[in-house]
Structure 1
Amino acid sequence: MKKLLCALSVTWIMAGCQQEPDQVDLVVHHARIYTVDSMFRTASAMAIRAGKIIAVGTDQDILGHYKGLEVLDGTGQYIYPGFNDAHSHFLGYASGLSEAKLVGTKSWDEVLERVQQHAKQDSSPWIIGRGWDQNDWKNKQFPSKARLDELFPAKPVFLYRVDGHAAIANQAALDAAGIKPGQRIKGGIFETKGGKLTGILVDNAIAPVERFIPAKSNSTAKLLVKEAMENCFAVGLTSVSDCGVMKRDVLFLDALEKERKLPIRIYIMLSDDKVNFDWILRRGVFKTNHINVGGFKFYADGALGSRGACLLQDYSDQPGWKGFLLNDSSYFVERAKMMIDSKFQMCTHAIGDSANRDILRIYAAVLEGKNDRRWRIEHAQVVNQADFHYFGDYNIIPSVQPTHATSDMYWAEERLGKARLGDAYAFRELLHENAWMPLGTDFPVEDIDPLKTFYAAVFRVDSTGYPAGGFLAKEKLGREEALRGMTIWAAKASFDEKLKGSLEPGKWADFVVLDRDIMQVPDTAILKTKVTATYIGGEQVYKAPGR
């Protein structure tokens, strides 16, 4: 009878009945552990075996019943489930670590200076860079390639705008791709002025040049992915969603995992490409302990910053222009019908209110009411007031990036006008409709640090505290909601909520240790918070210097 009672007493706080302590791989104690379970309970200790949590409770419970091969004394620090970026471009970020870094440039001249400095150290056949944003310059017009042609008459140069939805190429790069003045492409722009190419490429005009960029060697790619993972671990990321990759990328990552060189967990959305459809639709979801290929990424429109987002009414700062869809609505209807007959998520980038309306209505027609398919709208940045109900009526997930709001707030009203701005970056309203919402950064478009996601979601101000009271303050999230969005809701968005996202028995022991309690400290302390350690599967993958 005593044995039976012991078996029945296994609960959230594991009160075992053994006389001798049960040996486990790791015991964590004397910490403040935010479990992020359904009741948002806290604990002070947990026991871990074979990469998974087997018990969570008080110091007395855990230390009295478990003996760890390793012991982590939390010394009163704060432990959270490993942060999960629900929308990023991990492999793109890794690749960019070897390229010219243009984020934060204040003028086209500064871009050119950085590119020249990079060229002195890089012998690659093409010069690649990313991160310029003309909205941050005094002259907010797109630049032209004239100076690039003077500086690099023979070497191709290709520089992505910060959002990846526009780029500038020099003549050598355009010649390599055979691009001619006046050339047209559906869903994109090869900008031409006075009968000459300016070098600016918008949305679908990027790929015809991009495909000529030489691929990095396998050995270089491995080193860059290693560096990218280390950067993730240093900010507490244990999981990421990589939005839009190819079959070859999955096979590359799978090989790394088999070599035990891929500790990070990656949810993959494959790109909208025939190669990917042919490879995996019949096969079904591809899943390992560290790789989950469960969705397809589609693009309805471009970005607001490059005026490629598709709006219902003209841009306030460019009369006569509404942006454009990257494909006809019929194209997305066909893709939705294909996805509903598969086991995969449909995840669609939609920024403008017209693009969001089109995709939401297409989703609704195929999903036909309440469901658990967890189809996603990536960004859901500008949604007409008449269309918010679709998220709730059809269980459509709004996958949002809080730092987009605080990055765009300086110029968003110029693009949208005051009235339309009220329906933009509406995180509180979107959460109300769907009841849960994953959060991400879209890195490398935004900074990789999830604490900046938390800060932007809760306070909606920049690092200086601007604007007072917060940008569109009615759309702020609470701290618990923001933390759930970065952990359990991000896991749920990839059908992984039974494996990760909270610190509960049976789940992976993926957690991050912080030196401050982000659930309690003042707003001014959030961005000063430091990650002291990061664990994946109970193994330490990052330790802060000096700790």
Structure 2
Amino acid sequence: MKKLWPVMLLLLAACKQKNYNADLLIKNAIVYTVDSAFSKANAFVVNKGKIIAVGDIDSLEDKYLAREVVDAQGKTVYPGFIDAHTHFYEYGLGLQQVPLKEMTSWSQVVDSVQVFADRNPDGWVIGNGWDQNLWAGKKFPDKAKLDSLFPVRPVILNRVDGHAAIVNQAALNVAGIKPGQKIAGGEIETIDGKLTGLLIDNAIGIVISKIPDPTEQLTQSALISAQQNCFAVGLTTVDDCGLPFTMVNTIAAMQKQGSLKMRMYLMLADKQENYNYLFKRGIFKTPRLNVRAFKVYGDGALGSRGACLLKPYTDQPASSGFLLSTKQHFEEVAKMIADKGFQMCTHAIGDSANRAILNIYATVLKGKNDKRWRIEHAQIVSPDDVKMFGDNNIIPSVQPTHATSDMYWAGQRLGAGRLKTAYAFKDLLKQNGWIALGTDFPVENINPFYTFYAAVARKDLKGFPEKGFQMANALSREQTLRGMTIWAAKANFEEKEKGSIEVGKYADFVILDNDLMKAKTADLPKTNVLKTYINGEKVYEKK
């Protein structure tokens, strides 16, 4: 036993010599820092959730002893991706409901609904994602088949953009909707004195208000399910657009207990109870949660012809769409939000809606400012109005995959002339020198590499069109990466804490199997995330 003492003392001494001064070292990587110079490094160091050094591996290994060392083996590392426009919670709920995206016929939709209903026999049947533009004839469906299958059980099936829905008679009965009924900012379709079940924009809310609120267990399951899928594609921050104030405490509590690790930027919905809550409380800010904005809906969507246009739809000359509220409402809300010092983020698709909201913003903002008010989507903007973004420092928050999803039929809605100035991301970027990029998921796929590809190549996943869609408004790879990281952070007032791999910022980053800056264009959407980190903690690893 006495002979073992010298060995044990040596081992103890060796342990004491390991004075760790860092938690994590990433080395042998191609690190795109996305700093102001767009510089690259091959290593960086993390301690207590933040980046403490970025540079050359030799100098960093001399200075830092990390508890964990990750050899990236020459793979690329990027700041964690930020999706500047999502419906994260809604997406999570949708994972518990009937998935209807990319279905090629109404019959296929109905069959899927029936299968789901058989497996889930209780409560409302809720589905999401149908798109009549993918069907032969491209006509909106009616409720006849749903009525025959579900004479008593209420059914609501939301269109892919959330701006139209088909409901059955049972749901109409619960909501008390009658033939010929009118609603401002929406439409209840009635043909030959009978309800078809088609509801547009504000009309949907009449039915939704009758659906029981999700249980706390379902709410938490939805958030966790959404988080898991988002981590797998490299998202570390999501902007959730249009939540009720009641979700703030739920999200904050889950983040505090550690089950919800995703960083979130919340925009509260345009409702008086939400204004009352945030105006009284003030900006809600923690390391993982930021609540300082309101989401307002200017108009509907182009696909459901609810987008408000300056001139009638080319394929429906009797309609120009509509605003979802009065201009007086938008003016009052804008002044109220400005007076209280919060951010206003307004959904505007059509050129008439964009003009109306831009003029209201200009009146309130009065020229150059740093309030960072946003137009969400900014899809169809008259060339005469584009300069208002720059004149008043209004942020265009756009979704590149909308362009490549809509390009097949947008010309039918708009005509060739208006289409030329639609989805004009580069023109919008020039106004302030930066732009925020997102997906609008679940309207589009959550995958940020689809965003990257759509912005750069302006093609669909099959490589169509061969020369790209309106390539004059394609973004460069650097501009696109900035739009998904540091510029998205800036749109949230968070560019000093995230969005790049720099000293002092949160250690949110991803390791990829592909170099987005150098890969062949066709390979961009095939990129995979190998690892995702938030706060220096690995939250996802590809199996």
**Deviation of 1:225 (Å):** 1.4
CA distance in 1, matches of 2:416, 2:51: 49
SS of aligned partner of 2:264: strand
Aligned to 1:354: 352
Offset from partner CA, 1:11-45 (integer Å, 9 cap, x none): xxxxxxxx997610101100000000000000010
User: What whole-Å deviation, never above 9, does each CA across 1:491-511 have from its counterpart, x for those lacking one?
Assistant: 000000011000000000000
**Which letter does structure 2 place at the counterpart of 1:220?**
L
Aligned mates of 2:156, 2:239 — CA distance in 1:
26
- Per-residue CA shift, 1:122-156, capped at 9, x if unaligned? 13300000000001111211110011000100100
TM-score, normalised with respect to structure 1: 0.95
Counterpart position of 1:471: 469
How far did residue 383 of structure 1 move?
Answer: 0.2
Mapped to 1, the partners of 2:122 and 2:59 lie a distance apart of 58
Shift of 1:254: 1.3
Alignment of 1:72 onto 2:65? no
Give the whole-Å Cα distance in 2 for the aligned partners of 1:187 and 1:239: 32
* Contact residue 20 and residue 65 of structure 1 kept, 8 A: no
2:436: which partner in 1? 438
- Whether the aligned pair in 2 keeps the contact of 1:22 and 1:65 (CA below 8 Å) is no
SS of the equivalent of 1:524 reads helix
CA drift at 1:220? 2.2
1:293 aligns with 2:279: no
Match runs of 1:18-167 below 5 Å: 23-167=21-165
Q: Where in structure 1 are there 5+ consecutive unaligned residues?
A: 1-18
The SS at the match of 1:111 is helix
Displacement of 1:384 in angstroms is 0.3
AA aligned to 1:520 is K
CA contact (8 A) 1:102 1:129 kept: yes
**d(CA) in 1 for partners of 2:113, 2:461:** 28
How far apart in 2 are the matches of 1:108 and 1:435?
44
Equivalent AA in structure 2 for residue 346 of structure 1: M
Whether the 8 Å contact between 1:21 and 1:65 is mirrored in structure 2 is no
Decide whether the 8 Å contact of 1:240 with 1:265 is kept in 2.
yes
1:540 maps to which residue?
538
Q: Give 1:191's aligned residue.
A: 189
1:509 paired residue number: 507
Per-residue CA deviations over 1:259-279 (Å, capped at 9, x if unaligned) read: 121210000000001111111
Do the aligned partners of 1:455 and 1:527 also contact (CA within 8 Å) in 2?
A: yes
> Aligned with 1:387: secondary structure?
coil
Structure 1 contact 232–448 (Cα < 8 Å) conserved? yes
Greater shift in the superposed pair: 510-519 or 273-282: 273-282
State the secondary structure of the residue aligned to 1:268.
Answer: strand
Give the Cα–Cα distance (whole angstroms) in 2 for the partners of residues 319 and 273 of structure 1.
33
Corresponding residue for residue 178 of structure 2? 180
Structure 1 residues 283-432: aligned runs within 5 Å: 283-432=281-430
Q: Distance between the aligned counterparts of 1:462 and 1:389, measured in 2? A: 29
* 1:236 maps onto 2:226 in alignment: no
Separation in 2, partners of 1:135, 1:125? 30
- Structure 1: how far apart are the matches of 2:42 and 2:484? 21
1:528 aligns with 2:526: yes
C-alpha displacement of 1:216: 2.0
Tell me: CA distance 1:21–1:476, structure 2 relative to 1, closer, same or farther (3 Å): farther
C-alpha contact (below 8 Å) 2:101/2:130 kept by paired residues: yes
Distance 2:122 2:334 in 1: 40
Aligned equivalents of 1:505, 1:357: Cα separation in 2 = 41
Q: Write the distance in 2 (CA, Å) between the matches of 1:174 and 1:230.
A: 35
Residue by residue over 1:20-78, the C-alpha shift from the partner in whole angstroms, topping out at 9 and shown as x without a partner, is: 97610101100000000000000010010110000000111211111111111111010
Q: For residue 214 of structure 2, what is the aligned residue in structure 1?
A: 216
Secondary structure of the residue aligned to 1:386 is coil
Alignment partner, residue 12 of structure 1: none
> In the aligned structure 2, how far is the partner of 1:305 from the partner of 1:124?
32
1:61, 1:167 → 2: CA distance? 59
- Determine the C-alpha separation between the residues in 2 that align with 1:500 and 1:245: 23
Q: What is the alpha-carbon distance in structure 1 between the residues aligned to residue 338 and residue 292 of structure 2?
A: 13
Whether 2:421 is the aligned partner of 1:462: answer: no
Q: Aligned with 1:240: secondary structure?
A: strand
The whole-number CA distance in structure 2 between the counterparts of 1:467 and 1:21 is 58
* 8 A contact 1:509–1:536 mirrored in 2: yes
Work out the percentage of aligned pairs sharing the same amino acid. 56
TM-score by length of 2: 0.96
**CA distance in 1: counterparts of 2:218 and 2:391, whole angstroms:** 47
Equivalent position amino acid for 2:244 in 1: M
Kindly provide the amino acid, as one letter, of the partner of residue 323 in structure 2.
L
2:204 maps to 206
Which is further off, 258-267 or 234-243?
258-267
Number of aligned pairs? 527
| Gapped regions of structure 2 (runs ≥ 5) | 1-16
Q: C-alpha distance in 1, partners of 2:253/2:320?
A: 44
Larger mean CA deviation between 118-127 and 44-53 belongs to: 118-127
Q: How far, CA to CA, are the matches of 1:227 and 1:544 in structure 2?
A: 17
Return the offset for 1:435.
0.7
The whole-number CA distance in structure 2 between the counterparts of 1:524 and 1:349 is 31
Shift of 1:215: 2.0
Q: Which amino acid aligns with 1:229?
A: Q
